[in-house]
Amino acid sequence: MTNTTNTRVPAARTPARTAAPAPAAVRPGLRERGARWMAALFLVPTVIGIVAFTVVPIAGSVVLSLFHWNVIDPPRFAGASNYGEVFGDRTVLVSFRNTLVFMVLAVALQLVIALVLAITVDGRMPVWLRSAFRSAFFFPLVLSAASISVVMKYLFNQDFGVVNWLLGLVGIAPVPWLTSEHAAMAAVVLVYVWQQFGFSFLLFVGGLNNIPKEVHEAAALDGATGLRKHLSVTLPLLSPTLLVASVVGIINALQVFEQPYVLTDGGPGDSTRTVVMVIYETAFEQLRFGEASAVGVLLFVLIMAVTALQFRLSRRFVHYQ
Amino acid sequence: MTDSLLPRRSLLRYGAYGAAAAAVAGTAASWDRLTGADIPGRDDGSLVVATLGSAFSPDGVRALLDGFRKLHPDIKVRVNAVQAVDWSDFFAKILTQIAAGTAPDLVYVATEGVQLFARRLGVALDTWVKRDAAELREYFADVHPSLVESMMYEGSLYQLPIEFNAADIYLNTQVLRRAGAGFPDADWTRDDFTALLRRMKRASDSHFTPYFWTNRLWGGVVPWLFANGTNLLAESRAPGGDWLWDAFYPAGRRQGRGGGFRWTTPQATDDRVEEVYDYLASLVRDGLCTRPEGGNGQNLIGVFSTGRVGVTPAGGFWAGGLHLAGMRPDGFDVQYFPRWRTHRMQYGAAGYAMLRTSRQQDAAWEFIKYSARRDTLTRLFTTNQTTPARRSMLDAGRYRETGPAHWRVFYDTLDAFPGTGPIPAPPQVAEVEQVLLKHTGTALASPRAVRPALRRMQGDLERAMEREL
Amino acid sequence: MSQATLTLSRARHSLAPWARIAGLTVCALLTLGPVVWTVSTSLRTPAESFDLPPQIVPAHPTAEAYRGVFDQIDVWLLALNSTLVTALIAVGQMVTAGLAGYAFARLEFRFKKPLFGLVLATMMVPLQVTIVPVFLVLKSVGLTDTLLGLIVPAFPTAFGTFLMRQYFLGMPKDLGEAAMLDGAGPWRIFRSVYAPLAAPGLAIVGVLAFNYHWNEFFRPLILETSGQNYTLPLGLVSLQGNLGTGSLSVVLAGVVLSMIPAVVVFVVGQRPLREGITSAGVNR
């Protein structure tokens, strides 16, 4: 992929990418209709799939949330009472709080680690070494979250785990990672971030690659170096990438399930119980599918709201060149 | 850059074509696999038996099926080994099958689910048991009445227990020796227990915890509640059941038995329950005991077998597990749970439950009977992965290779202490268990947390028990 | 991990290269550590599983645990199921994402924006919210407890469609315009101009699909009820044994075995995978 040799400083894109699809002025009408048919045909598989396996199920969830249903007996209409029940349930409320806390911690940590590592890897070093680092940071992403959480459960064990042994080497007393409220949340966040930061890392590596050299040179001429250069020059240029990374990161973090399920089973108490865990337990363990659907609908609304808010905020902070 | 891209691109393209072609061919060749058409016995009227995948070895299942086919060549049977991490997970999958209209005829159900299934999905076995009484006499004579009673609900029998596990105390003999402590008496008390933990702690380094336990319904807090003469939910007995007791058990052994257990009013804030939590909290505080760890006890076997833990509650299933983990038969031993106000202990049992939706209930009954035969169980339980419900199967030969030396403790937990009973598992068990685990976690997470946690536990239990299920 | 990166955040490009490389090395070790521990513990005897400090190179290496895995579960059947499911999902996603991505990038039609928004919005729907209705949909077409029931619902892919759209947008527009001036219709423009260039992008979608669905646990757990239909991640659960009595080494050996195909795909497909994720964040 080539960059333009545009000399105006903050312009990195090829016209092909930025330009909207060409005006249809020259196209004959027949051809246009052909294209429309083709578009319809091309979209059929995706749209049918999404309607059948996402839109209809979401509608189904909304309907289900208005019923009491335990799989065994026919559903009974419940009106809004499931929502009342859900709002009165301390566990559900706590799970929403936990999920938000988890999201903030996990996404922030993940972005910071990824950004710092991406910038550091971008520095001068042998090509093979850079490639090796990139592979290493990316590797956890290919593993199964459930399996790796089983492994992490051993590593984070308070008395026999490798993590506390390592901390012991630098004189830190054993941390009850999985059995005390705050430490358990920290452990879940760490395990999650360990597996996920590679994703943001690669996004940032790509983003940095696309910042033209001229920008750095111009900044250097202005006397910007080191940290200041990154803060004032690199970050604004990376902001579109940052937006994508944080949107995807937040959407994923709000749906976290495997790590707390395996590591702590939501405990101690409710301290690491996430919304998706509550949905699973309410539906598949306690057979209260109506209430579970109500929680699901609320989570969906929350994710939509957070994402919308993000795009709204992004208008102020994201710089498109 | 463009030059080097070209060959790679075409390579990738051909790779993609190749993959697509292989996929098409593979799909065509495995159409039966994809649609499930190749699953033997699906929709062909086979008797479908659902078991918890991890409970039996593949060899055991094969032996189980072969034996049944030999006995009943006319009944087609298929075992569906359902993969699940624990019992509640397993029940969830069975219920999903029922929702999908692919319900099995028989389900392997542990104490955790006995009343749930009996109440909502199961068929009482009473008429068949009465009909085949002569044939079953030998079975009941070999099985402790408490196990049978734990499979009764409101006067009717729903399952024949074929295995059970009581929470006894496993001790690492190497740790005992290191502490210079002798093997505890059968009659040991809670205070003897505490003293032993202290001794072990003094004799070991910082990577050692005397008492390790898993926060779950079976073998967590409940054995301590039983030892202190209380329970999470008020326990009583349903009336009825005489038809069974009178027919199969002599007067001395049927005394006090009823129509099954009833677990009703939550009593988490009772003084004796508080005492138990205070005691466990004091053990945690003094570093004699781990904080409760959630999950299926996976960590436990590793840390116990390597001497990082001295004592832990477990049942007969651990003999096989420890052997598998490389422990020598004399590396560990087993004793009753210590006594406190009472010497009552707890267990969980399992057997096959018949579903109401089954259209071949007579065939299903034949399988239930077959599953409880001594030769069947002998073939199934080859590795001591559980305790057979039949007393006569526990002998020196069975435990020679795996240990423990005091294997008699397993069945004597019932025989010598007839009051020993099942873990509390009303039909609302899933929620009750979750509430128990959750608040136990908080109660013992920090000092002074016991009382508020128990108050919340009580409130949540009350709500759970009120729920119609 | 955080400790190490905190110090790093103060790093600058002007920092000595060796310091940067040392810091990165520490981070890389922390990242790969758990994996190394898993592999080495699976090669140790159960009695040595918990040794501290952990022996990275086992003192008495043994493949006993791997034999245990093959004894306890039908690895070949599970792997066959997993391969079928994963490969078909990958191919299916390449088709749906390739077509839809092209339509969104290069074709004009009504409701384009809202439709694209709808596709992206599916990323926000947690699996656990829709699984019960999905289950009912599958039941109505007779696909519960079949491998197809696992495969077909996974065909539409929001992220894949997004990627392919970016990919097609990144191709020079003049190619298609030149073909159009030569009298090529929209189908020929797609068929002979753009589609051939899309292979690397499709490879990205395929690798991502493989990576995700090979490790997938929740959907198979709920949708597949017969043992014959289990995928590898489900089968591994039974290694944990009745009430957790399985041997740790065997459990970890199972984890390592299930990692192998993912690692192979990682090595082979690393580049498209990296490019894919990278390009998602660059273009808009």
Which domains does chain A carry? 83-317 (1.10.3720.10)
Express each pLDDT in B136-148 by its tens digit. Answer: 999 999 999 999 9
- The answer for A 15-74 residues in CB contact with C (under 8 A) is 16-17, 19, 21-22, 24, 27, 31-32, 34-36, 38-43, 45-47, 49-50, 52-61, 64
Instruction: Flag whether pLDDT at B378 surpasses 80.
Output: yes
**C147 and C219 in a common domain:** yes
Instruction: Spell out where chain C has E strands.
Output: none
The domain of C165 spans 69-282
Question: Locate tokens 């319900």: which residue?
Answer: B103
| Residue in C92, C96, C157, C147 with CA at minimum distance from that of residue B19 | C92
Chain B residue closest to A71 (CA)?
Answer: B99
Indicate whether C104 and C206 sit together in one domain: yes
Residue length, chain B? 469
Please indicate, yes or no, whether residues C43 and C180 belong to a single structural domain of this protein: no
Give the domain range for residue B461. Answer: 168-232+267-344+428-466
pLDDT, tens digit, 9 for 90 and up, residues B299-346: 778 788 888 899 999 999 899 888 888 889 999 999 999 999 999 999
Higher-confidence position of A4 and A168:
A168
Cα three-residue angle B408-B411-B415, rounded to 5 degrees? 110
Q: How confident is the model at residue C68 (pLDDT cuts 50, 70, 90)?
A: confident
Cα B466 to Cα B431: distance, rounded to the nearest angstrom: 11
Highest mean pLDDT among A22-36, B150-164, C244-258: B150-164
Average pLDDT over residues A269-279: 92
ipTM of the complex model: 0.83
Q: Which residue has the tokens 């940032």?
A: A204
Residue B356 is predicted with a pLDDT of 92
Asked whether residue C109 falls in the same domain as residue C177, the answer is yes
**3-state SS string over chain A?**
CCCCCCCCCCCCCCHHHHCCCCCHHHCCHHHHHHHHHHHHHHHHHHHHHHHHHHHHHHHHHHHHCCEECCCCCCCEECCCHHHHHHHCCHHHHHHHHHHHHHHHHHHHHHHHHHHHHHHHHCCCCCHHHHHHHHHHHHHHHHCCHHHHHHHHHHHCCCCCCHHHHHHHHCCCCCCCCCCCHHHHHHHHHHHHHHHHHHHHHHHHHHHHHCCCHHHHHHHHHCCCCHHHHHHHHHHHHHHHHHHHHHHHHHHHHCCCCHHHHHHCCCCCCCCCCCHHHHHHHHHHHCCCHHHHHHHHHHHHHHHHHHHHHHHHHHHHHCCCC
Nearest residue of C to residue A141 by CA position?
Answer: C211
Give the pLDDT band of residue B435 (cuts 50, 70, 90).
Answer: very high
Q: In chain C, whose CA is at the least distance from the CA of B87?
A: C243
Is some CB atom of chain A closer than 8 A to the CB atom of B174? no
Nearest to B155 by CA among B262, B266, B263, B265: B262
Q: Among B400, B297, B323, B357, which residue's Cα sits nearest to residue B106?
A: B357
What is the mean predicted confidence (pLDDT) over C106-112? 86
Nearest to A49 among C33, C96, C121 (CB): C96
**Mutation site, B214, B288, B438, B461, interface A, largest A CB count within 10 A:** B438
Residue A115: the pLDDT is 92
What are the CA-CA distances from residue C244 to residues B14, B114, B302, B385, C258 (Å)?
47, 21, 10, 11, 20
Check CB contact of A298 with chain C, cutoff 8 Å.
no
Nearest residue of A to residue C122 by CA position?
A54
Tally of domains in chain B: 2
Task: Give the whole-angstrom CA distance, residue A235 versus residue A241.
Answer: 10
Tell me which residue of B324, C240, B437, B309 sits closest to A153, measured CA to CA: C240
Per-residue b or e along B245-275, where b marks 16 or more CB atoms closer than 10 Å to that residue's CB: beebbeeebbeebbbbbbbeebbbebeebbb
- Nearest chain C Cα distance for residue A159, angstroms: 10
Q: Are residues B157 and B112 in the same domain?
A: yes
- Give a yes or no: residue B31 inside a domain: no
Residues 6+ apart with CB under 8 A from B90: B52, B82, B84
A–C interface: beta-carbon pairs under 8 A: 308
β-pairing, B309-314 vs B209-211, is parallel
In a domain, B197, yes or no: yes
CB spacing of C156 vs A151 below 8 angstroms: no
Closest residue of chain A to B1, computed from CA coordinates = A1
Q: Tell whether C58 and C156 lie within a shared domain.
A: no
If asked whether residues B286 and B331 sit together in one domain, one would say yes
Whether pLDDT at A6 is above 80: no
- CA-based nearest residue to A253, from C123, C87, C231: C123
| pLDDT attached to residue B89 | 78
C22, C47, C62 — which closes off a domain?
Answer: C62
Residues B246 and B301 in one domain: no
Answer whether the bond into residue A45 is a cis peptide, omega within 30°.
no
Please tell me the predicted confidence (pLDDT) of residue A22.
45
From chain A, the residues in CB contact with B298 under 8 A are 150, 153
Q: Does C46 touch chain A (CB under 8 A)?
A: no
| pLDDT given at position C235 | 83
The domain total for chain C is 2
Instruction: Answer yes or no: is pLDDT of B295 > 90.
Output: no
When comparing pLDDT for B234 and C195, which is higher? B234
Q: Where are the alpha helices (DSSP H) in B307-360?
A: 317-324
Asked if C53 and C89 sit in the same domain, the reply is no
Single-letter residue type at C107: L
Which one of B304, B434, B461 makes the best mutation probe of the A interface by having the most chain A beta carbons within 10 Å?
A: B434
Shared domain for B211 and B312, answered yes or no, is: yes
- Reported in sequence order, the residue ranges of B301-345 that DSSP labels E, i.e. its strands, are 309-314, 332-335
Residue B160 and residue B142 in contact, taking contact as beta carbons nearer than 8 Å: no
Which of A134-148, B216-230, B258-272 is predicted least confidently? A134-148
Give domain status of residue B18, yes or no. no
A262 contacts: CB under 8 Å, gap ≥ 6: A146, A149, A150, A153, B295
Q: Residue C275's pLDDT is what?
A: 67
What is the DSSP code string of B42-73? Answer: TTTTPEEEEEETTTS-HHHHHHHHHHHHHH-T
Task: Indicate the average pLDDT of chain C.
Answer: 82
Q: What is the pLDDT of residues B168-181, one digit of tens each?
A: 999 999 999 999 99
B220 and B108 part of one domain: no
User: What confidence score (pLDDT) does residue A32 get?
Assistant: 67
- Going by C-alpha positions, the residue among A296, B329, C53 that lies closest to residue B318 is B329
User: Residue A93: pLDDT band by 50, 70, 90 thresholds?
Assistant: very high
> CB B446: neighbour CB atoms within 10 A?
16
| Domain identity same for C149 and C174 | yes
CA–CA distance, B320 with A313 (Å, rounded to integer):
59
Q: Rounded to whole angstroms, how far apart are CA atoms B447 and A26? A: 79
Would B257 be classed as within a structural domain? yes
CATH number at residue C85: 1.10.3720.10
**B432 with B396, same domain?**
no
Q: What is the DSSP letter of C53?
A: S
pLDDT at residue A3 greater than cutoff 60: no
**Residues in B touching A163 (Cβ below 8 Å):** none
Residue B389: other Cβ atoms inside 10 A:
26
The span from the CA of B215 to the CA of A295, in Å, is 27
Q: What are φ and ψ of residue B234, in 5° steps?
A: -55, 130
Residues B340, B189: contact at Cβ < 8 Å?
A: yes
Element (H, E) at B264: strand B261-266
Same domain, B419 and B397: yes
Identify the pLDDT of residue C177: 83
Dist. CA A172–CA A163, nearest whole Å: 11
Q: Does C231 lie in the same domain as C112? A: yes
- Residue C144: list chain B partners with CB under 8 A: 100, 102
Q: Are residues C122 and C42 in the same domain?
A: no
Using alpha carbons, select from B395, B345, B334 the residue that is nearest to residue B166. B345
Q: Å from A11 to nearest chain B CA? A: 22
Vertex A190 angle, CA A189 and A192, to 5°: 65
> A163-177, B29-43, B129-143, C150-164 — which one is most confidently predicted on average?
B129-143
In this structure, are B226 and B96 located in the same domain? no
Q: Is residue B383 part of a domain?
A: yes
d(CA C153, CA A54): 9
B449 touches chain A (CB under 8 A): no
Q: Which of B117, B106, B122 is nearest to B52 (CA)?
A: B106
**Higher local confidence (pLDDT), A214 or B133:** B133
pLDDT at A318 over 90: no
- Asked whether the beta carbons of residue A279 and residue C280 sit closer than 8 angstroms, the reply is no
Instruction: Classify strands B106-110 and B346-354 as parallel, antiparallel or unpaired.
Output: antiparallel
% of chain B with per-residue pLDDT over 90: 64
Residue C254 sits in the same domain as residue C131: yes
Backbone torsion region of residue A226, taken as left when φ is above 0, otherwise alpha when ψ lies between -120 and 50, otherwise beta? left
Quick one: pLDDT at residue C122? 87
Strand partners, B339: B189
- Grade residue A45 by pLDDT with cuts at 50, 70 and 90: very high
Give A284's contacts (C-beta < 8 A, 6+ positions apart): B89, B92, B96, C222
Using CB atoms, list chains with 3+ pairs below 8 Å to chain C: A, B
How far is it, in rounded angstroms, from Cα B367 to Cα B349?
18
Average pLDDT over residues C248-271: 83
Neighbours of A202 (CB within 10 A): 26
Q: What's the whole-number mean pLDDT along residues A165-182?
A: 88
In which region does residue B348 sit, left (phi positive, over 0), alpha (psi from -120 to 50) or beta (all else)? beta
pLDDT tens digits for range C216-250 = 888 888 888 777 888 988 888 778 776 667 777 88
- Is the domain of C127 the same as that of C230? yes
Q: What is the mean pLDDT of residues A68-88?
A: 88
B145/B42 same-domain check = yes
A265 confidence band (pLDDT: 50, 70, 90): confident
Interface test with A, best of C7, C36, C130, C217 (most A CBs within 10 A): C130
The lowest-confidence range among A146-160, A188-202, B186-200, B254-268 is A146-160
Q: Do C44 and C78 fall into the same domain?
A: no
What pairing do the DSSP bridges indicate for beta strands B161-166 and B47-52?
unpaired
Query: B310 — phi, psi (to 5°)?
Result: -95, -50
Does the distance separating the beta carbons of C133 and A56 come in below 8 Å? yes
Q: Of C62, C92, C113, at which residue does a domain stop?
A: C62
Residue A229: C-alpha distances to residues B206, B315, C12 (Å): 49, 64, 9
Q: Do B302 and C46 touch (CB under 8 A)?
A: yes
Percent of chain C with pLDDT over 70: 89
**Which residue intervals of B156-236 are DSSP H helices?**
173-179, 190-202, 222-227
Buried b (16+ CB within 10 A) or exposed e, B276-313: bbebbbebbeeebbbbbbbbbbbbbbbbbbbbbbbbbb
Q: Do B19 and C88 touch (CB under 8 A)?
A: no
Q: Residue B350: which CATH number?
A: 3.40.190.10
Q: C18, C46, C62 — which closes off a domain?
A: C62
For residues B344 and B226, the answer to whether their CB atoms sit within 8 Å is: yes
